[in-house]
Chain A
Amino acid sequence: MLTRLRDTAPKTFLLSAAALFSVFPLLSMFSAALAPQGSAPAGISVPLDPQWHNFVDAWNVANITTLLQSSVILVLGVVPVAVLISAMAAYAIAQLRIPFGGVFYLLLVFGLTLPFEIVVVPLYYQMQSLGLLNSRLGLILPLIGLNMPFAVYWMRTHFQSVPADITEASMIDGAGSWTAFRHIQLPLAVPALASLGVLMFLSTWNQFLLAIVLIDDPDKRTMAGALQGFVGAHSTDVVLLNAGALMIMAPTIFVFVVFQRYFVRAMLAGAVKG
């Protein structure tokens, strides 16, 4: 028993140290966020007189209610559409065997490694000429398009693993391919669709570069994009800045903790596939 403990204690310590390293900067922010406003807090300290109302003030100053609404609109605009049309395309490539489907797929794979840096400047001028600059639609449409390579790649992996006899059965009795897709293939794909949805939620919610380029008004941006405006306006007030930044992170952390199992599975699988 004692040798067992002696063996596992250093390992547990190492794992704890790794975990502590991961949250330390957040703890440091948290301790600063609880200091009295206008004071100069130390890097990390035990807040003896925690000022919880700082968070309420930061919520109002950083306009979190508006930002939450804005981010939710963006996510609802991007994720369901992108998930549906990528699933349809993957179904067409993997199961309907459309002519030149392989070429289309290769074209998508080409997009997998393209950094956003190469599209952001042309997208700015494209949106300008479409009159969509500074509108949420002008951010939603490009995000759907830019999600296609990974999303179709992900869903194609799923549709290839569907046993052939299910595909055959779904096609029998003259049911059109849409009926087969809608009533048989789509319900079977729910786990893959859900994981994809989780990953897209995260990437949309945290989208920064496109948000700050395509939308000027911080209140219409994603939460991440809004941080830029918030920091610009409050960089000198350490307490409020940290409280506000924590509030901006809070929704993602909350959603993550609640749906943890799902996130971890999707992200580990997503990493391996991506």
Chain B
Amino acid sequence: MTTVDGTAAPAAQAGAARPARPSRRAGAGASAARRRAAWAGWLFALPALVMYAVFELYPVFSAVQYSFYDWDGIGVASPAGVQNYVRVFTEPQLVASIAHSFVLILFFSILPVTLGLVVASITREIRSQFAGGVARTLMFLPQIIPGAASAIAWTWMYSPDGAVNQLLSALGLGAFTRTWLGDFTWALPAVGVIGTWLATGLCTLLLLAGIGKIDASIYEAAQIDGANRIQQFFAITLPGLRSEIGVCITITVIAALASFDVVFMSTQGGPGYSTTVPGVQVYQLAFTENRVGQSSALAVVLSVLVLAIILPLQRLFRER
């Protein structure tokens, strides 16, 4: 989405170079033939349109439709007006799920971008191909494995005998050990850290790639002028990474709001509703509580929420 503006320019040039424009005056017959040919081009677009309409647009339409009914998935649906939407904002477990997804933004998005900025800006001069290559491979791994598998790895890390408690004990912090994912207070931050782990590597690499595009002579000039590292960071690195930061935030905020795999496989939303998120609620409402209309209303609210947060972010980070 970020490059939508950037790619518009070559398209305009390509359009200008086409002979189609001047020949428009060349008689009605030719232009009718051209129009027919243009319509024939739809044969190319048709398969994609059909698949998209049948398996994305139609389900979205159905979800909006379901959301105005009470339906258990089997019997006859009865109209519910906007009651399902009212409950999204009043029923405690549904309100909690939305609130949790905002808490997760801190862990899935803000922390990884901050950590990525710190690591990328400090390590930018490392020229060692080998160390850089190995580190890059390792940092990419969390992105490659399925989220469900990451959740299993971290469930083991957080278990009573797991590595987290083991490390705390080794550091003399035995008093802090606990069953992390079973703790009403600590389960949500613990799930959040899984997201931090997932996104930090990707953000670091994206930002490193961005720093690589900043002209090194700018840093040299700043150094000669006596700017220290912190000043260089705020004056050169941060503005230079504007679009990369925007990309990282966009991807990770969507991942936070629409999270499912990690939460579902690590806590199923528990204990109680302490880690539930909209994705898990949509699934459980529809398939275990048989409240299909309610599930759909939450899904619609979630989609609108994602759009309402992403669009301003896109505008904010658009390159001038």
Q: Do A and B bind each other?
A: yes
- On chain A, the residues within 8 Å of B201 by CB distance are 18, 22
| A104 and B49 in contact, given A22-B197, A115-B257 (Cβ under 8 angstroms) | yes
B260 interface contact, C-beta 8 A = yes
Given contacts A8-B126, A89-B45, contact A145 B51 (CB under 8 A): yes
Closest chain B residue, CB of each to CB of A223: B146
Is B122's CB under 8 angstroms from A14's CB?
A: yes
For residues 130 through 153 of chain A, which have their beta carbon under 8 Å from a beta carbon of chain B?
Answer: 141-142, 144-146, 148-149, 152-153
Q: Which of A119, A205, A224, A248 has the most CB of B within 10 A?
A: A119
Q: Is A164's CB within 8 Å of the partner chain B?
A: yes
Q: Is B134 an interface residue (CB 8 A)?
A: yes
Q: Which residues of B contact A97 (CB under 8 A)?
A: 20, 38, 41
A115-B257, A121-B292 as given contacts; A104 in contact with B45, CB under 8 Å: yes
The answer to whether A11 and B44 touch across the interface, beta carbons within 8 angstroms, is: no
Interface string of A241-259 (1 = CB under 8 A from B): 1100100110011001100
A173 within 8 Å of B (CB atoms): no
Are B282 and A11 in contact (CB-based, < 8 A)? no
Write the A158-187 contact mask toward B (1 if CB under 8 angstroms, else 0). 001111110110000000010001000000
Docked CA distance A213–B308 (Å):
27
Contact B142–A22 (Cβ < 8 Å)? yes
User: Is residue B110 contacting chain A, with contact meaning CB distance below 8 A?
Assistant: no
- Given known pairs A88-B44, A93-B45, the reply for A22 and B260 (CB within 8 Å) is no
Any chain B CB within 8 A of the CB of A264?
yes
Chain A contact residues, CB within 8 Å of chain B? 8, 11-12, 14-16, 18-26, 28-29, 32, 40-44, 85-86, 88-89, 91-94, 96-99, 101, 104, 107-109, 111-126, 141-142, 144-146, 148-149, 152-153, 156-157, 160-165, 167-168, 177, 181, 202, 205-206, 208-209, 213, 223-225, 227-228, 231, 238, 241-242, 245, 248-249, 252-253, 256-257, 260, 263-264, 267-268, 271-274
Q: Which residue of A lies closest to B61 (CB)?
A: A122
How far is B17's CA from A163's CA once the two chains are assembled, in angstroms?
10
Give the residues in chain A near B35, CB-CB below 8 Å. Answer: 99
Task: List chain B residues, Cβ under 8 A from A248.
Answer: 146, 149
- Judge whether A268 and B122 touch: CB under 8 Å: no
- Closest beta carbon of chain B to A185's beta carbon, Å: 11
Chain B contacts for A205, CB-based, 8 A: 146
Instruction: Given the known inter-chain contacts A117-B260, A206-B147, A253-B145, please indicate yes or no for A44 contacting B166, CB distance below 8 A.
Output: yes
Instruction: Determine which of A41, A122, A124, A142 lies in contact with B161 in the assembled complex, contact meaning CB atoms within 8 Å.
Output: A41
B125 near A11 with CB under 8 A, answer yes
Q: Are A253 and B144 CB-contacts (below 8 A) given A43-B161, A116-B258?
A: yes
- Interface residues as binary, B122-165 with A (CB distance below 8 Å gives 1, 0 otherwise): 11011010011011111111111111111011101101011111
Q: Which listed residue, B48, B51, B55, B206, touches A271 by the CB 8 Å rule?
A: B206
Task: Considering the complex, give the chain B residue whose CB is closest to the CB of A17.
Answer: B119
- Given A15-B126, A15-B131, A43-B157, residue A148 in contact with residue B52 (CB < 8 A): yes
B42 and A145 contact, CB distance less than 8 A: no
Q: Which of B13, B57, B147 contacts A224 (CB 8 A)?
A: B147
B residues less than 8 Å from A43 (CB atoms) = 156-157, 159, 161-167
10 closest residue pairs by CB, A with B: A145-B55, A43-B163, A96-B41, A224-B146, A89-B48, A115-B258, A122-B62, A92-B44, A122-B59, A43-B166
